[in-house]
Structure 1
Amino acid sequence: MIKDASELEPWLIIQGQVPNTSVAMWRIEHGSHTSLAMFSERHLAEDYATENCDGDAHVIQLRSTELVKLMATCFGEGVRFATLDPKRGSARQVFILRDILRAARASLVSNFKS
């Protein structure tokens, strides 16, 4: 189990063309929550995109600062979770975006003070 999402360099699925792009989401089973879909391996993201995404989907890997910015945007839009390797009714791991963003902020402040 991954304890901290900062250990990840996940693959994401981006759909559509600029300026109307969106990131792939996954609905947490038995709930009304959607989550940011993240993948540990490129082929897992590609498989998910083939099975679940309509239209033009691209698999990408963001730098950590871009990933945190995307997570903050998702959080601002009401998304509270990120899932690692979602597939059908389960995911390998669920992360709470608020906790990831707090850790990223603490790391940034710590690095700034150094």
Structure 2
Amino acid sequence: MRIIMISVVLSAVIAGSGSVAMADELTNLGSELKGEMGSMASEAKGEMKGEHDQMKESLKSKKEQMRGEIKAKREQMRSEMKGKRDALKAERKEMKKAAKAKRSKAKKQAEEAVESLEPSAY
């Protein structure tokens, strides 16, 4: 009976120490997994921050490019409108000049007609 009791105690001790060792290994494994997951999370966070910064810079450059394009279009439109205005002014000036010449010619013809109708004193 003593032998059976000793063997039972020994097997319990061995089984207990084995489960303690197994629990210790599981704790170590858990710690390693936690550490790896933490490092993976920090890597992912760093990558995401890098992508975010890159997207931010990309949007900023696109915004500046669009502003430049809009400014160039605005300048082009101003230039075109100035050209049209100048053309209209020149056309109006030509029309006034032609009207003045026409009036002058009509006035001269009227004076000549009056002179031809007047009896000459000679």
TM class by shorter chain equals under 0.3
The normalised TM-score by structure 1 is 0.22
**Bigger Cα Rg:** 2
Structure with a larger share of its residues in helix: 2
Structure with a larger share of its residues in strand: 1
The normalised TM-score by structure 2 is 0.20
